[in-house]
Amino acid sequence: MVNVPRLVIAAPSSGSGKTTVATGLMAAFSERGLAVSPHKVGPDYIDPGYHALAVSPGASVGAGPVGTPGSAARVRPGRNLDAYMCGPGLIGPLFAHGAAGCDLAVVEGVMGLYDGASGQGELASTAQVSKLLRAPVVLVVDASSQSRSVAALVHGFASWDPEVRIGGVILNKVATDRHERLLRDALDESGVPVMGVLRRADGVTAPSRHLGLVPVAERRAEAVGSMRELAARVRAGCDLEALLALARSAPALDVTPWEPAVEPVAPAADAGRPVIAVAGGSAFTFSYAENTELLTAAGADVVPFDPLRDEELPEGTRGLVIGGGFPEVYAPELSANEPLRKAVAELAYSGAPVAAECAGLLYLARSLDGAPMCGVLAADARMSGRLTLGYREAVAVGDSVLAPTGTRVRGHEFHRTVLEPGAGTAPAWGVVHPERRVEGFVQRGVHASYLHTHWAAAPELARRFVERCFVERCTA
């Protein structure tokens, strides 16, 4: 049984202020000395970086991928709860794993409260996750253009699904004292208490660009200052005691915490643990903590490195993982680090296991917006005005270092780049939903694709990758 007090921060729609409120609450409660566990519904990588900063004041957030020893030793990572990629049955266990030993968990929702995977009902919605966690919901409402109508809005959301418990409202972008009185009077009739009011002029914002917020790893010093200001805003505008009491009203959760328990790969005599280098730094900020934890559990030593600054791979590297991020923003700097590009290419040509997702795919290409990259793949990448975004179902169309033929996965795409060609003679995946196509590259030990995957749903991917690292080390 899991008894961690918990809140889900939701909203009627995107842009209402969920990230502001959730992150501010995490920071405010952390400043009071509570151990706060941060979570995010859905596949988003960027918000969890701000969550980690909020609950780990003074820690080295953003130094490397979450879950790696060099970056997470003093940081509680923000963790994702994605019922599409991981399945509803893993939401409770993953939550319990992340929240272990904490005084409070704050879960930031995704989009509107009842919005989920397109065409699949409540799947992957904030509402579904709140029910799976048996957690009360705090609804963040953008009140900037309404007064009495706010009561009808809140009533509609509170009554739509009786299994979703909306325990309070936080009003955002309130203009004046009079505006606040009108809103409070209206909500008195709804039966849902107002637990906070944030004024319109109080805006503490983070800069955005083509894929949303700028990751915290790229603006750490500025983000730390913003976080303090945000915590102060939330302390002043929200009833923290009422919110904590609501969180403590959540009933016990009958789940067993998830563990990165894959059968460790048995090395040959004197082979030791293989080093798997994991790209981090400002250009490669997208990763799930559980992926790294699974690699470690399978028997690898995971070592972060920064392709913007490090001219060599970590000593003894036998495998390489390059996740998502923003290489398009740093293409000139990545290209200028020619020693590392050559080291990556040599490792790939040697047949060592290399797993690359999205940004990693671009980094392995010949070029990105004309700037030379690693040249491992016979493909060129460029920025595009078109956003590619959404969940995918895919199947491995051939054997690779990650998966044998026929392995089925659920993943997510999120980019504004185009790769030409989009697939090699041996593709990484055959996408079967929502459309049918092949994409990505499998060659030697390289598996490179636009598809982001969450290995907690398929721990055999991590074990297979580590196994290939052992093979390479023992036969080199």
Contacting residues for 44 by C-beta, under 8 A, at least 6 apart: 80, 110, 212
What is the predicted pLDDT for the residue at 116?
94
Span 403-432, average pLDDT: 97
What is the predicted pLDDT for the residue at 225?
75
Neighbours of 350 (CB within 10 A): 13
Span 227-232, average pLDDT: 87
More confident residue, 215 or 406: 406
Nearest to 243 by CA among 22, 17, 1: 22
245-265 burial code (b ≥16 CB/10 A, e <16):
ebbeebeebebeebebebeeb
Neighbours of 464 (CB within 10 A): 22
pLDDT surpasses 90 at 206: no
Q: What are phi and psi of 11, to 5 degrees?
A: -155, 160
At 234-275, the pLDDT tens digits run: 999 999 999 999 999 999 999 999 999 877 786 665 668 899
- Give Cα 220 distance to the centre of its chain: 18
In 61-189, at which residue ranges do the beta strands (DSSP E only) sit? 79-81, 104-108, 137-142, 166-174
At 305-348, the pLDDT tens digits run: 999 999 999 999 999 999 999 899 999 999 999 999 999 999 99
What is the predicted pLDDT for the residue at 471?
73
At 121-132, the pLDDT tens digits run: 999 999 999 999
Where does the pLDDT of residue 365 fall: very low under 50, low under 70, confident under 90, or very high at 90 and above?
Answer: very high
More confident residue, 353 or 75: 353
pLDDT surpasses 80 at 214: no
Q: Are 222 and 257 in contact (CB under 8 A)?
A: no
At 21-36, the pLDDT tens digits run: 999 999 999 999 999 9
pLDDT surpasses 80 at 43: yes
Q: What six digits make up the tokens of 273?
A: 């643990």
Active site residues: 358
Can you give the pTM of this predicted structure?
A: 0.92
> Rounded mean pLDDT of the chain?
91
Percentage of the chain beyond pLDDT 90 is 80
pLDDT surpasses 80 at 474: no
Burial of 433 (0-12, 13-18, 19+ CB in 10 A): exposed
pLDDT surpasses 90 at 215: no
Neighbours of 355 (CB within 10 A): 29
Q: What six digits make up the tokens of 185?
A: 């009077």
What is the predicted pLDDT for the residue at 436?
96
In 298-445, at which residue ranges do the beta strands (DSSP E only) sit? 301-305, 317-322, 354-357, 367-368, 371-372, 380-395, 408-420, 429-433, 437-439, 441-443
Q: How far is CA 165 from CA 9, 141, 153, 392, 451, in A?
A: 12, 16, 15, 30, 34
> Residue 269: helix, strand or coil by DSSP?
coil
Span 194-209, average pLDDT: 70
